[in-house]
Each structure stands twice: as structure tokens, then as C-alpha cells.
Amino acid sequence: MPTIKEVSEHAGVSQATVSRVMNGTAKVVEETRVKVLNAMKELGYRPNAHAQSLASNRSNSIGLLISEFDGPFYGALMAGAEEIFRKHKKRILISAGHGDEKLEKEAVEFLLGCRCDALVLHAETLSDEYLIEQANQGTHVILINRNIAEMEGQCLYIDNEQGSFMATEYLIEKGHKNIAYIAGPQWKHDARERFWGYQKALGKHNISLQLGLVEEGNFRESGGYQAASKLLDSGHKFTAVVCGNDQTAYGAISAIEERGLKVPDDISIVGFDDLPYSSLIKPKLTTVHFPIRQIAAEAARRILQDVYKEKNTHTFNSCVQASMVERNSVKSIT
Amino acid sequence: MPTIKEVSEHAGVSQATVSRVMNGTAKVVEETRVKVLNAMKELGYRPNAHAQSLASNRSNSIGLLISEFDGPFYGALMAGAEEIFRKHKKRILISAGHGDEKLEKEAVEFLLGCRCDALVLHAETLSDEYLIEQANQGTHVILINRNIAEMEGQCLYIDNEQGSFMATEYLIEKGHKNIAYIAGPQWKHDARERFWGYQKALGKHNISLQLGLVEEGNFRESGGYQAASKLLDSGHKFTAVVCGNDQTAYGAISAIEERGLKVPDDISIVGFDDLPYSSLIKPKLTTVHFPIRQIAAEAARRILQDVYKEKNTHTFNSCVQASMVERNSVKSIT
DNA sequence: TTGTAAGCGTTATCAC
DNA sequence: GTGATAACGCTTACAA
């Protein structure tokens, strides 16, 4: 692989000049510019990104921490950020933490080792302290889906509690009183926040929480399926289920239908996230919209603005309100 | 951010020694080793990956070219490769081509600029020549879903034609004679291969291709929906539809049901890909299984073996046979 | 406008 | 075992 030196010799100029035409950092006479360009073509020259980063102290890349590479949620997160960055010639480096503390830390260390110009983190297991430390250490960090007081202005999240509150209240307004809840793993703060929103909504309407109507899932179909099965087989009566997220809802629906019951005729369901498939399944899922793609795009815009000093616009609040998407999985029983 | 120099001074040793304890490339007395380790901890040292790559001519990273960051297919591709690489301390660099020739080329150039030790490409628009050139230029390349004669041994793909043939024949065996086809974009070779498999199956059973029963979609729901709508509104009679992929099938099902018809009672449907959601929708989709995750994992294993000289095992053939997954979207009409 | 040369933070080859 | 020191391929003052 040819180097800048070979190009410079081939073109009969100095390395500095080659660098200049590559980066447009200084005026170069058209004639020499062409010579250099030709030399680059002929040799099939490709600048070594590592050498560039090392010399310029800029990597032009942004680190992205996610939990998994598959799954619609993270897909939207990656796509939303990439779309914005791509338009500004910035690259993303993606690393997955797999919901494991050790792996998540390794992933961040990797991104830091790559000297990313900024980090967008969807951290599930990393402690507040760790995150604060990184931010204080000079790296520009944006946290997705977390709210740490000490990092105000660097957090982008939705109001999980409010979303869940809204979903629950929505069912109550439709006449439901016995409303079950299938929670996400309670070590996840968003799962806790969502569960809390459910409780608050019940409280507001003077409905007392029935422990028999609450199960913990895993935020995936399997957990939703199992939790709903337990609920159904327990004999407790309920007419609706609030699910910690859409995937949980999918599983719950399967369990319900497997028992010959119908959604929403026998049991109403609401989800949370509004994944792409939620509008494709039957019945179309009534759920809480989580604008993750937009949030990711917003994170990108902020970085473009703050780190790369591009004068963008469009910055919204840190905390985004969730909104209800009414579809066909809830029946009014008033 | 501290450098190796600062660490060495802090520990009272040379840079070389620090490098040695980092990489374990040579024996270091336990006592000095501890000193160095402590110095690293105290300073919060993180090796600069760019400097490492530059000096060692190894990036320990593998470039991955995909079309999109979202979507179940690419999600599985990324996840399959990452899982294997992660276990061997290798990192992946992902770049998306968005099905656009210019962007796809840029994406590859980026990966090459990062001096990836190897490339795993799911290239949609890049020409055979371009790919061959890269491979000849020294970079270790594996092509997913393509079969270029000059690059035998570096291609990993499934037999699209056979898969589609099987799906079509499956319907024929179930008694269907008027079988429509919703193709993928015909500029994509896999879409063409799949279409060809359909034609061959019809031919084998002496059913002539009816042009009125073929529509071109876009490999997404929208295209499936529109194509199926056209088909249904055209007045041509058919009892089954072979879809270019599962997403197309989802769209087709929507269109069919929107007209008050039932799948599979009125019209049978088969897909291709076997996406995760195909077993969740109703009716569960009968489709051709495309083991993309395994293929990606296999690509990773080969690279581990060929580039990093790790002695692995498990390498299968370049061409993987597709297999039928029988579910509930096909009705026997014999 | 162009060239020279000193870094950038590592690894790797020598000596010692 | 450990320490100098020359690469690695580029950017960027500083000169010319």
C-alpha cells in the first residue's frame, strides 16, 4: 500500500503538498494539484487513517455504544445517528455491551482507545460514577436513555414514567380496572421507571396495586410469553395488560391467543417503544411511541455542533415526552 | 490523555518495558511489571489504538460492509460476525452502503483507510472487477451473498435459485397451478436468481410463466403491498404467491387481507429469508430459511483462521443450501 | 505557493 | 530482562 511519501516522489513535490491537496488546508497551484491527484490515482493511494488521526489528533469518528447489533431498537439508534454523521463526513464506530458490565466497559475502553472525537452511549450497566468520570476526562459524551444530574445537557432520554403512566391511564379511561403489568428486568432503570409510571397511574385513580397482577419479564418475547402465561394460569382476573415494552407485548399476545382468548376482545394490551413491527402484527399494537431514531439523530446533531463546530440548528430538549399510538389492541369496556 | 512515555517515567522504566507488559511480548520481572501496571492505573492510561496500528501494522479490526444498520437481516449479519470476533478480541468496523454505488465504494474506501486486517463485504452495487481488484491488492476479503468465479474460496452465499425453486415446487406439490411472483429489484443479482428459481420450477412442472402474474417489488413491505395490490386488482387468477423475500410477503399479506381475503385460505404465500418476525406474524409465514447469522459467523471463523492464524475448525462449504420452513401460510388445494 | 522537519504514540530491532 | 532508538504515515508550524 503506497504512502504519502511515494505519492510525493511520484508527483515530484513534497509530502506537505500532497497533504495539502488531500485536505485542502492551503492553496496549491492548480498545475501541481493535478500532478498530485494523478499520482494518487496511479498509485492507488489511500491515506492511512491511523496516521492521520495520530498526527492531527482528530479521528473524525464518533463512538457508539449499544447493547446488541440486532433488534429493531438498536437498529434505529444506529441508523439515526449514522444518517446525520454521514452527511457530514463523520464515521461511527459501534461497539456492543451485550448488557454485561464487563463487556460494556470493554466496549467503552475500546472506543476511547480509538480516540473517538465523541461518544454516544446507550449504557445499561455502567455506573453513574464511571460515566461522569469519562465525561470529566475530556471526552465529549452523550448519554442516551439516561438522566444523570451531574451530566445535565449531555443526556437525551424520554420520560419513561410519563409514558407508562399515560399507557396505564389510557386503559383506565377505557374502563379497565384490573390491569396487569409485565415489567422489564428491574435492574434496568428504564424498566423501573416504566413500572413506576404504572403504579402512579393506578394510584391516581385509586386503584390499588395487586401483586398477583405483576410479573417480571426480560423485555423480550420469551419473557412476555412466560409472564402472561403465569398471569393467565394464576386465576387472577384482569382485562388488560400493560407491557414493559413491545416485544414483551408480542410474547404476551401469543400466550393469550394460545389459550383461545382474543386480543383485544378478551384482554387488552398496550406496549411501549412502538417498534416497526407493532403496526404490522395483528392486532396492530396500541403502544407508547419511543422516538429513538430521532433521539439518536439529535445526539449526532449536538456533537456536530459542539465538537465539530458545525453550525446546525434543531436542538430539542433533553427529555422527550412519549406519546400514545392508538391502534387495535385495546378495547373500551365502559 | 496520558501516553506511554508518561507511564514509563511514572514507573521509572523505559517505554519499551511498558509496551512489553501491555502486550506480553517479552518476559518482564514481576516486580517491574507491577510497577508499570500501577503506573497505568494511576494515570488512567489507555493505549492509543492508532499509534499501535501504525507501529505494528495490525489494526486487529475487521471491516464489515452492509447495506443498512437497521433491518433484521443486517442485524443478524452484524451480530453473527461480532459474536465470533469478540471472543477472539477482534473488533469490527461497520460501514453502510445504503444500496448506493457511490456510498458503497466510499464505505469500502473507509474500511481500507482504516487498514482493517480483513474485510467482510455484503456488496450490492460494487462490480466484480472492483471487488477482485481489492482482493488482489492484498486485503483479505470475504464476500457474503455473492459468487464470483475469480474469488472462489472467498465467497459465502446461499443457493438463491435452489431456494426459490424449492419454494415454488412446494406450492406446486400442494396443488397450486396459478402461482404469482413478487420479485425483488432486478438489478440485484439475488433477486434475479430467486426469480429464476421460480421460473425453473414452473418449467419443470410444465406450467408456463404468465407475465400477468409477475410483479417487481422493492424487497420491502411497501413493494410487496403495492405489487400484491396490482396483482389482485388485475383480475388475473392465482391461488398462491411466491415472494422475493419475507418483507415482501408481509406487505403482500396486508394487501390481501385488506381486500377481505384470507391467507392461506384464499391465497397461499411463501417468503424467503425466514426473518425472526416471520414466526410471530399471523399466519406464521412458510418461507425459505436463510442462515445469514451462521454465514456471518463462518466468515468470521475463516478470517480468524486465515488472517490471524488461529486454529479453528468448522468451515463449511461456500454455497449453503437453503431449506424450507413449513408454517401456516400455505394451504393444500389438492 | 512550496519545502523542511519536528512531532503524534506506539512497536520492534538492536545492543547491553 | 531492560533500555535506546529507528521506524510507522501523516499533519503542521516555520522557513523560504
What pLDDT digit, counting tens, does each position of A231-253 carry? Answer: 999 999 999 999 999 999 999 99
Distance B50 CA to D10 C1' (A): 11
Question: Which nucleotide is the nearest neighbour of A55, by CA and C1'?
Answer: C8
Start-to-end CA span in chain B (Å): 73
> Which residues touch A27 (CB under 8 Å, ≥6 apart)?
none
Give the single-character DSSP code of B243.
E
Of B44, B68, B86, the CB nearest to A79: B68
Mutate to test the interface with B, among A65, A90, A273, A280 (most CBs of B within 10 A): A280
Measure A162 CA to nearest chain B CA, in Å.
27
Residue B311: its pLDDT value, please? 80
Report d(CA A222, CA B136) in Å as an integer: 47
A13's grid cell: 513535490
Side chain identity at residue B322, one-letter code: A
Side chain identity at residue B145, one-letter code: N
Question: Which nucleotide is the nearest neighbour of A20, by CA and C1'?
Answer: D11
Interface contact flag, A48 B79, Cβ < 8 Å: no
At A36, the pLDDT band (50, 70, 90 cuts) reads very high
Report d(CA A88, CA A305) in Å as an integer: 11
B235's grid cell: 383480475
B47's grid cell: 493505549
Interface contact flag, A70 B93, Cβ < 8 Å: no
Report d(CA A193, CA A167) in Å as an integer: 13
Judged on CB neighbours under 10 Å (0-12, 13-18, 19+), B6 is: middle
pLDDT at A197 over 90: yes
Region A107-123: mean pLDDT is 97
Region A107-132: mean pLDDT is 96
Question: Which nucleotide is the nearest neighbour of B16, by CA and C1'?
Answer: D3
Question: Which nucleotide is the nearest neighbour of A26, by CA and C1'?
Answer: C1
Measure B258 CA to nearest chain A CA, in Å.
12
Interface contact flag, B282 A281, Cβ < 8 Å: yes
pLDDT at A46 over 90: yes
Chain length of chain A: 334
Chain B residue whose CA is closest to A222:
B280
What pLDDT digit, counting tens, does each position of B271-304 carry? Answer: 999 998 898 888 999 999 999 999 999 999 999 9
Side chain identity at residue B232, one-letter code: L
Interface contact flag, B50 A95, Cβ < 8 Å: no
Q: Find, among A2, A120, A86, the residue nearest to B94 by Cα.
A: A86
Q: Which residues pair with A216 in a beta bridge?
A: A183
The full 3-state SS of chain A, as one line of letters, equals: CCCHHHHHHHHCCCHHHHHHHHHCCCCCCHHHHHHHHHHHHHHCCCCCHHHHHHHHCCCCEEEEEECCCCCHHHHHHHHHHHHHHHHCCCEEEEEECCCCHHHHHHHHHHHHHCCCCEEEECCCCCCHHHHHHHHHCCCEEEEECCCCHHHCCCEEEECHHHHHHHHHHHHHHCCCCCEEEEECCCCCHHHHHHHHHHHHHHHHCCCCCCHHHEEECCCCHHHHHHHHHHHHHHCCCCCEEEECCHHHHHHHHHHHHHCCCCCCCCCEEECCECCHHHHCCCCCCEEEECCHHHHHHHHHHHHHHHCCCCCCCCCCCCEECCEEECCCCCCCCC
Of A68, A70, A93, the CB nearest to B72: A70
A179-183 vs A268-270, strand pairing mode: unpaired
Report d(CA B39, CA B20) in Å as an integer: 14
Of A44, A82, A103, the CB nearest to B69: A82
Q: Is the CB of B49 under 7 A from strand D?
A: no
Q: What are phi and psi of A240, to 5 degrees?
A: -155, 155
Residue A319: its pLDDT value, please? 74
Question: Which nucleotide is the nearest neighbour of A16, by CA and C1'?
Answer: C3
Residue B315: its pLDDT value, please? 67
Mean pLDDT score of chain A: 95
Residue B313: its pLDDT value, please? 64
CB-CB contact of A317 with A97 (8 Å): no
Chain B residue whose CA is closest to A282:
B282
Distance B12 CA to C6 C1' (A): 26
Q: Which residues pair with A141 in a beta bridge?
A: A119
| Residues in chain B whose Cβ is within 8 Å of chain A | 1, 44, 46-51, 53-54, 59, 68-72, 74-76, 78-79, 82, 86, 91-96, 103, 109-110, 112-115, 137-138, 221, 250, 254, 277, 280-282
Distance B283 CA to C7 C1' (A): 66
Region A1-13: mean pLDDT is 95
B309's grid cell: 492464524
Contact list in A for residue B95 (CB cut-off 8 A) is 91
Nucleotides of strand D under 7 angstroms from a protein beta carbon: 1-5, 7-13
Which residue is nearest to the C1' sugar atom of D1, using CA? B28
Judged on CB neighbours under 10 Å (0-12, 13-18, 19+), A113 is: middle
Report d(CA A94, CA A81) in Å as an integer: 11
Cell 439518536 locates to A296
- pLDDT 10s per residue in chain B (334 long)? 899 999 999 999 999 999 999 999 999 999 999 999 999 999 999 999 999 999 999 999 999 999 999 989 999 999 999 999 999 999 999 999 999 999 999 999 999 999 999 999 999 999 999 999 999 988 999 999 999 999 998 999 999 999 999 999 999 999 999 999 999 999 999 999 999 999 999 999 999 999 999 999 999 999 999 999 999 999 999 999 999 999 999 999 999 999 999 999 999 999 999 998 898 888 999 999 999 999 999 999 999 999 999 886 666 667 788 999 999 999 999 8
Residue B282: its pLDDT value, please? 85
Give the single-character DSSP code of B278.
G
Distance B11 CA to C14 C1' (A): 23
Contact list in A for residue B296 (CB cut-off 8 A) is none
User: Which domains can be identified in chain A, with CATH numbers?
Assistant: 4-47 (1.10.260.40), 58-157+292-320 (3.40.50.2300), 160-290 (3.40.50.2300)
A-B C-beta contacts closer than 8 Å: 101
Residues of A 199-218 whose CB lies less than 7 Å from any atom of strand D: none
Q: Find, among A240, A246, A247, A183, the residue nearest to A217 by Cα.
A: A183
Report d(CA B83, CA B297) in Å as an integer: 8
What pLDDT digit, counting tens, does each position of A264-296 carry? Answer: 999 999 999 999 889 888 899 999 999 999 999
Report d(CA A7, CA B134) in Å as an integer: 19
Mutate to test the interface with A, among B114, B253, B256, B263 (most CBs of A within 10 A): B114
Distance B7 CA to C13 C1' (A): 22
Report d(CA A318, CA A259) in Å as an integer: 43
- Is residue B276 reached through a cis peptide bond, with omega within 30 degrees of 0 on the bond before it? no
Of B44, B53, B79, the CB nearest to A69: B79
